[in-house]
Amino acid sequence: MSELASQTLITPLYNICSMADSRSEVSVILPTYDRADLVSDSIRSVLDQTFEDFELIVVDDASNDDTAGVVQGFADDRIRYIKHEQNKGAPAARNTGIEAAEGDIIAFQDSDDQWHPRKLEKQMEAFESVSSDVGVVYTGMNRGREHSEVYLPYTGVEKAEGDIQCSLQQQNFIPTQVAAVRKDCFDAVGPFDENMTPLEDWELWIRISRQFQFRLVDEPLVTGEVLPDSLSTDQRALVEARKRIIAKHRDYFSDRTLARHSFYVGHGSMKLRHPKEARSFLLQAMRANPHPRHVSALVLSILSLRIYLFAYHHYKNWQRA
């Protein structure tokens, strides 16, 4: 029995009939977990798209609230609903959606974000104007955090489209909810890494960027907010995810960017009070790029955890590599 077949799949009868007659051009995948109070607005922003040839696959990652009732309250035959019997995490939920998808283009939405009505229209127009070596078309995004708002991609991104490998070495600037991806990309490089949360989007773009080009629709067509329970705010999870990216893609990074990410892991490990592991990564950072901050951090980590944390709290600007 396949992974998808072993899950609880709830698909309205009218949707089964429509699927037999036609096949949507785009599959929108929306993973959700215990967000019944938010997911309704997210779904509605997808259904209100001016581009209408899509299916919306809502993957409920074993929610304990009334997510099922909220989804089934929409009388729209483009919606398909899949529920995991056990919570598996966002990467696995997205992979379930990818496996079930009928479209040649896969787009992603999150349960707490809003799409501009013309998002899919503009992405599909972009796909029509580029060659098949463009695997991802993504849009700008306004992201709110702690009473402030930032625009993605960041202004410091050196190259935001075409071959963006050098830019992706620095950081991730493509959240999943802004991306539309040719299904061929997943056939070529595989799905999301289910052992990595967060930063699973960044790791996927690294793999895709080795073989495909990216195109940017430079407009804020997604609005989102970093919520307090977001994994992107979890220091331990971020450290572990970046460790996994370094282990999987060491050859992808230049010495300078490898040093930067090794420093981040080492610094984060010190804050988590794991000095032995921290020193290993701080040493890697110094060897890859003997920047004064890397050298200072390594020396302070050897002296003692207390001295390191004291220096961090009083001289926070030295942590920026």
pLDDT digits (tens, 9 = 90+) for 142-153: 998 767 889 999
Which residue matches tokens 């960044």? 202
Q: What's the pTM value of the predicted model, to 2 decimals?
A: 0.90
Distance CA 319, CA 321 (A): 6
8-231: CATH, from 1.10.260.40, 1.10.10.10, 3.40.50.1820, 3.90.550.10: 3.90.550.10
Question: Domain map of the chain by residue range?
Answer: 8-231, 253-319
Q: What is the pLDDT of residue 315?
A: 74
Which helix or strand (DSSP H or E) is residue 71 part of?
A: helix 67-72
**Maximum Cα interatomic distance, the chain, rounded to a whole number of Å:** 69
Helix (H, G, I), strand (E, B), or coil: what is residue 140? strand
**pLDDT at residue 320, rounded to an integer:** 52
Alpha-carbon distance of 192 to 200, in angstroms, equals 6
Confidence of residue 312 (pLDDT cuts 50, 70, 90): confident
Q: How far is CA 51 from the centre of its chain?
A: 23
Q: Which of 233, 236, 231, 288 is nearest to 263 (CA)?
A: 288
Please give the torsion angle defined by the CA atoms of residues 68, 71, 74 and 78, in that order, rounded to the nearest 10 degrees: -120
pLDDT in tens, 128-167: 999 999 999 999 999 987 678 899 999 989 999 999 999 9
| Apex 188 CA angle, 182 and 189, nearest 5 | 100
| Number of residues written out for the chain | 321
